[in-house]
Every structure is written in C-alpha cells, then in structure tokens.
Amino acid sequence: MCGIIGIVGRQQVAERLVDGLRRMEYRGYDSAGICTVENGVLIRRRAEGKLNNLVLELARNPASGTIGIAHTRWATHGAPTTSNAHPHATDEVALVHNGIIENFKPLRDALIARGRRFESETDTEVVAHLVSEQVEAGLSPQDAVKAVLPQLRGAFALAIAFRTHDDMLIGARLGSPLVVGYGDGENAGETYLGSDALALAPLTQRITYLEEGDWVVVTREGAQIFDAENRPVERPVVASGATAAAIEKGNYRHFMQKEIFEQPVVVAQTLRSYLRRVEQTVALPQIDFDLASINRVTIVACGTSFYAGMVAKYWFEQFARLPVDIDVASEFRYRDPVLEPGGLALFISQSGETADTLAALRHCKAAGQTIAVVVNVPTSSMAREADLLLPTHAGPEIGVASTKAFTCQLAVLAALAAHLAVRRGRMTRAEEAAIVEQLVEVPAALNAALAHDEEIAAMAHLIAPARDVLYLGRGPDYPLALEGALKLKEISYIHAEGYASGEMKHGPIALIDEAVPVIVLAPSGPLFEKTVSNMQEVRARGGKVVLISDAEGIAEAGEGCLATIEMPRVHPLIAPLVYAVPVQLLAYHVAVAKGTDVDQPRNLAKSVTVE
C-alpha cells in the first residue's frame, strides 16, 4: 500500500526522503508528506495528489534537518486531502503509518474527552496523540512507545520522530512490513527505516527485516530492536539485493506496457529455475516434507493472484488428481474453513505482504497445514514464513495492474502441478517430459502473441466507448475471462465482468445489446464448439463479439465477429499464459485511448497491506 522512509543522517535528508518516496510511487498513493527535525522544531510539509506537488511545496517552503520521516498515503480513513496526509503531528511528535488502527474510534473518543484536538479524519492521528500524551507526562520516547503499542489493534508499520530528539527515530511493525537499513561507505554513521528494501536501495544494501510485533530505536550508532514482549532481540542483517538504479520505462510509454513486453524474458527466467531441460523433469526447491503425502490443496489469494490460483485448481485436479479448495483471502478465515491434517495451503501474492493473504497464511499455519507460497519478493513476510517457497522471477513490477507477475505465477503453478502429478504417481516420466517440452515453448508463444500489439491497438477504439464489457471463457480460460475483465476495470474504468461461457443464459445474457462488446477467449479444442454456441447466442441478440482464438478457431467461428485476434496454436496447459497477453494489451490500449493514468489508476494500491 503506502510507502514509508525514515533517515537518521549526517547530512540534509529532505531530498533523499523525497527520492525514497519516488521509488515507492508504484505502490499507489493519493498524497505525500515529510517531516524533519532541527533545533527542537518539527518541520512538516504535505501535499495532496502526486509527489511533484510535494516537491513544489518544498521548493516554496524548504525543510531542513538531518533526520526525518516521509510517507505516500493511500486513503482509508478520510479523503485524500492535505490535512489527512501523513506525517501527522502534535507539538511533540510526528509519525507516519501504513495499515489501519481498527480500534481508533474508542481511542479517539477517549482522547477528545481528555481535551486533545484533532486536525484530521484519520485513524493515524490517534497514535500521534497517544504517544504525545506519554511524552508530555515525562516518559522517554522509548517508554512512551512501549506504553502505546499494546493499546493498538489492527495492522501497522510506524515511523515516529520526536521534537526533542534530532538523533533518533522509533519504528514498529504489526501486520505491515518495515525494514531497518544500515549505512556504510559514504553513508556510514546513518541508519534508516523503510517499507521495503527498494526504498532504501540507493542508501544501503545492508538491511534487517523486523519480525511481527518488533519495535526498534534507530540512531546514528545503529538500531536496537525489541520484540513484542519488549525484550531486546537480535535480527539478522542481510543483503537486500534491491537495485539502487532508478527503474526506467525505457522506450515504452508506460511501465505497464514495458512489463507486458517483458513477459517472454521473465517467464523464461522463472521456468529456468524449475525445469531441467536435459533430464526433461520439473524440480522444486529443497523441501523437508513429502509432497506425495498431500491429500488436499487449499489455495488462497486476492485479485489477479486469485485468478492464477483458479487456473492452478484446474491443473492440480486434472494432472495430479488432487482435490483443491480455493478462496479469496478476505473471506477465507471468516467462513471457518475445515483444514484436515495432511493438507497443503498454497498462497499466491505478488508482494508477499498482502494483509488478507498473510493473515490467512498464519491461520493455516496455526491449523497445522503445510505452507507453500508463490511470491515475487523472496524476502517478503510470506516467503519467510513458508515451508515451501516458490519464487517467481518477474523482477520489480511497477505498474499497479499486475501483468508479468501473473504470467510468472502461472508458470510456477504449471510446474508445481506437473511435479505434484509425478510425485503422486499420476503422471509418467514420459508424460512429464512432454509437459516440460510444452513449458519450454511458452516464451516463444508469448512473443507470437505480442506480435499482435499494433492490431490490438488499432481495434481498441471499438471498445473504448463502451460502458459495459463482458468476457467469456470455458475451463482454464474462464479465470482468464475474469482476469481480462479485472484489467479493463482497473485501468480504463469501464465496467466489465467475466463469466464462464455456459453461464451466459443463466442471467448475464439479459445485458446483451449492440452497445455491449463481448470478448470471447476460445482456443480450439474440446470445449471450442460449446463456446461457439454461446457466441451465437450473443450474436443473435445483437451483441458484438471480439474472438480471441487460434487460426483454426477463427476460421471456424470468426465470420460475423466485430474483430478477431489470432493466437498461436498451443497445448491447453500453456494456453492461459498465452491468452493473458491479448487481454492485457486490450485493456492497456483501451485505457490509453481513454486517457487514464495507466500505471497508477485511481483508488488502487500495488501492495494492499490493510484488510
């Protein structure tokens, strides 16, 4: 979600704080601010909207000081206004916060009853007043934070600055990530706080990941970490691996476009770590449990990752004959699912920090399930808490709408499905070798799909005027229909829905008229004729069909379509990876035609760290 950076430095920090925020713009935000401390004064600057507005504010009213905190906010409590932007401050403290304080209302009411005055509508300002009360009562900053943290319920990462301490910040995390960085070289004698390693990459490669419930006192001499019981603890210092280089779009107009075109390379990188070409086998990372003993898989994810999990359900059941349950993470814990011994709980997340998914992971771990995670950030909370880490190798994904992370997730899940099938005796070595050969062909098939970019761009004007769009698919292409609809919603703001093709006549067909384009995903194969029948139902009611199929399918059913997009003929296993490309490109070009903010669509955040 939002971004945090804090610097206890030996030189002016305002410019470096803003640079850290700029590196986290991809997360999505709607306001930004910084606060520095100098000569017993909290110097705060905030602005709504894009980070450039904060830069302009700082040009008008500079903020000096060698210590400070900064934040990009994604609005939860209160509109995205300057008064609601972080940092929030009292006379004594300023702080920034990722997450949600769930019990803020009774805390706020009690503070108001004690005479405290609030300037914002946020839950965060409650924490500032609570800490300030303790400081004003004579407690040290450490004791003040120690007294306040047990009062907070919810999820938070906090970075707190104190008016009378220009050499110290305090950070805390519960359910939202926070890292400590240690300066060296030209930055020796500095210490940092950040939402992620990427924000700190230009400053240091030496970082420590705070664990759940940890809080930390950061000074120029280093960091002292305490656990949830306030006991001093040591946490390992690791190399972050995050690049300090600015992430650029290159010759592409948007990060999303660049990331769509990176897919052949990053999917190849991902598959390379799971496929053994010479032996023609699938290999997973070292594990200390027997996959053959797994009797059920529970898949939990959100958004695009959930649709990757839906595809995996088809694969696991078809190839490994392994029963699969799948849930959206925000619903999972609350239906009190039955988790029997011997189950594998599989969590899918780009960031590895998604709050709902992480909470579901811990629920399953407490219930004795074996935990596997498919993540793009191998140092994330989910990755560190898993029994089996299955990393994608998509690289940083800056566009808020996920593209290359999705196809890399599918690549990993396809490899896992094949491996499970072999381990369970449901797939012969010859069949495994055939699957490996199909997976090896994916990058070339993705390149063939991308070759239709100009054609898709040219037809985007046919979709851009629509208020509603339907996507249809059968089998593993049904989740692709859902994903295509989600992409169009996310970045073009056109209302879109995905349906299993056979469900059209059970209600959605009432929506069909000449103003509603219908995108049909239908590779030729066993289910093709049934999908063509559903297309005819749409046409008979004046609907305009865009058919995405291979040459054989288009030849059989393409006549009378508004438009067709030809995909390469591929094995059904890899069709979902290949057909992801045209729905991504269609959403992208429609959004460009409508003039929306493709990389940072309104109201969305890249990493959703609140429930």
Active centre residues (catalytic): 2, 606
Consecutive H or E run containing 173:
strand 165-174
Q: Strands 154-162 and 165-174: what pairing?
A: antiparallel
DSSP 396: -
State whether the Cα torsion 534-535-539-540 is positive or negative.
negative
What is residue 516's three-state secondary structure?
A: coil
Output the DSSP codes for 283-296. -PPP-SS-GGG--E
* Nearest Cα to Cα of residue 395 among 175, 248, 601, 610: 248
Q: Which residues contact 265 (CB under 8 A, 6 or more apart)?
A: 443
Which phi and psi (to 5°) does residue 442 adopt?
A: -60, -50
Residue 374, beta-bridge partner list: 348, 390
* Nearest Cα to Cα of residue 127 among 143, 142, 153: 153
DSSP 397: -
Q: Strands 165-174 and 324-328: what pairing?
A: unpaired
Q: Strands 370-375 and 388-391: what pairing?
A: parallel
CB 263 within 8 A of CB 394: no
Measure the CA–CA gap between 282 and 436, rounded to whole angstroms: 7
Output the DSSP codes for 361-377. HHHHHHTT-EEEEEES-
CB 414 within 8 A of CB 274: no
CB 27 within 8 A of CB 601: no
* Nearest Cα to Cα of residue 358 among 378, 386, 339: 386
Measure the CA–CA gap between 187 and 10, rounded to whole angstroms: 8
Q: Which stretches does DSSP call E strand in 414-569?
A: 468-473, 495-500, 517-521, 544-550, 563-567
Measure the CA–CA gap between 497 and 486, rounded to whole angstroms: 8
The two counts, helices (H) then strands (E), for the chain are 20, 27
* Nearest Cα to Cα of residue 87 among 46, 136, 148, 38: 46
Alpha carbon separation from 474 to 48, 479, 524 (Å, rounded) = 44, 8, 11
